[in-house]
Amino acid sequence: MNDTASPAGYPHRHLLGIEGLHPPEIAYLLDLADAYVEQNRQIDKKRAVLRGRTQVNLFFEASTRTSTSFELAGKRLGADVINMAVARSSVQKGETLLDTAMTLNAMHPDVLVVRHGDSGAVQLLSQKVGCAVINAGDGAHEHPTQALLDALTIRRRRGHLDGQVVAICGDILHSRVARSNIILLNTMGAEVRVIGPPTLVPAAVEALGVTVHHDMRKGLNGVDIVMMLRLQIERMQGSYVPSLREYFQLYGLDQSKLELAKPDALIMHPGPMNRGVEIDSLVADDINRSVIREQVEMGVAVRMACLDALGRHLPNLNGAAS
């Protein structure tokens, strides 16, 4: 894999967010992931890159794509992978996040993959443990591997990220996916528009280098990529939209709104999708333009790349630094 990745490398011990990463570091992870896409399409998908290493997946929030792909990624790289079932753990008896983390740390894992409902929780945890930590999504803060897999999907389809006009649409306020994508896409030279109702777009989002549209038809005009977001009802206290029916009429992606984007615009969604709320089924399942399933495939490769990159900073198996 070394031969195919850019030489800059990934110099960090953890992956806590996209914020602070430099373009060559992002390109390095994407190059590495590109090679893993090809490996994952072979019959023999296994490598020994993490043989002898222990990876613990600790998800305090529900997940299908991220948790499954991290498990698959670790196993394909030869790690021993433990999925801690939070619902059946001592968290249910009141054990705190940090006590849980310290308990797991005492078992000498090499990598902890953590999803938590509070922004900043994963970074806090990374300061208390002795192993590498990957943020699998923290509150409305960051979801770095999602942004990387989205970038890989776009780059493989379009050949590059710079100059791409990307519309991120819907519930921007509660979305860690939006935040990580905005930072990554801007860092790599894309142009980002955010589209949503005023109640679901954070007040200071322009400071992240995006333009804001509240009229979806205007915002979609001429874009290369339409990235839809789930309406995160579970994070809302009170009402942010008048009704789901009205939300779909104004902000749901259907064929008529999609026609305003470029004719070959790609349709993306991180999942899980609420069909008929933020996206119409005909658009989501459009075999020519929807890359939603491809995003899932890229997720495994990106997570292998991230585990591999962090694994290169672990002490080697005879005790010396690698």
Segment near ligand CP (CB under 6 A), from 40-48, 62-70, 239-247, 309-317? Answer: 62-70
Does residue number 117 form part of the binding site for ligand CP (CB under 6 A)?
A: no
Segment near ligand CP (CB under 6 A), from 123-131, 163-171, 194-202, 267-275? Answer: 267-275
Segment near ligand CP (CB under 6 A), from 86-94, 206-214, 258-266, 270-278? Answer: 270-278
Instruction: Report the DSSP beta bridge partners of residue 116.
Output: 138
> Closer CB to ligand CP, residue 4 or residue 64?
64
With beta carbons less than 8 A apart as the criterion, state whether 132 and 70 touch. no
Candidates 12, 45, 47, 65; binder of ligand CP (CB under 6 A) is 65
Does residue number 222 form part of the binding site for ligand CP (CB under 6 A)?
A: no
Residue 260 CA neighbour count, 13 Å, CB half: 13
Looking at this protein, which amino acid is placed at residue 87? A
The tokens describing 230, both together, are: 């789930």
Does residue number 272 form part of the binding site for ligand CP (CB under 6 A)?
A: yes
| Residue from 137, 211, 219 nearest 180 by CA | 137
Shortest Cβ 108–ligand CP spacing (Å): 27
What binding mask, one character per residue, do residues 279-318 give for ligand CP by CB under 6 A, x or -? ----------------------------------------
Instruction: Report the DSSP beta bridge partners of residue 59.
Output: 115
Residue whose token pair is 């020994």: 48
- Cα 252 from Cα 177, distance rounded (Å): 18
Residue whose token pair is 């192993």: 131
What is the separation of C-alpha 224 from the centre of its chain, rounded to a whole number of angstroms?
Answer: 20
- Cα 69 from Cα 301, distance rounded (Å): 9
Does residue number 64 form part of the binding site for ligand CP (CB under 6 A)?
A: yes
Segment near ligand CP (CB under 6 A), from 60-68, 93-101, 206-214, 308-316? Answer: 60-68
Cβ burial of 289 (10 Å; 0-12, 13-18, 19+) is: middle
CB atoms within 10 A of CB 31: 19
- Cα 107 from Cα 123, distance rounded (Å): 20
Candidates 54, 55, 66, 290; binder of ligand CP (CB under 6 A) is 66
> Closer CB to ligand CP, residue 65 or residue 275?
65
Does residue number 181 form part of the binding site for ligand CP (CB under 6 A)?
A: no
Candidates 6, 40, 63, 186; binder of ligand CP (CB under 6 A) is 63
Preceding omega of 242 cis (within 30 degrees of 0): no
- Cα 92 from Cα 12, distance rounded (Å): 33
Residue number of the CB atom closest to ligand CP: 66
DSSP assignment, residue 240? Answer: S
Candidates 196, 197, 202, 270; binder of ligand CP (CB under 6 A) is 270
Does residue number 146 form part of the binding site for ligand CP (CB under 6 A)?
A: yes
Binding-site residue total for ligand CP (CB under 6 A)? 9
Shortest Cβ 152–ligand CP spacing (Å): 14
Where does this chain bind ligand CP (CB under 6 A)?
A: 63-66, 137, 146, 270-272
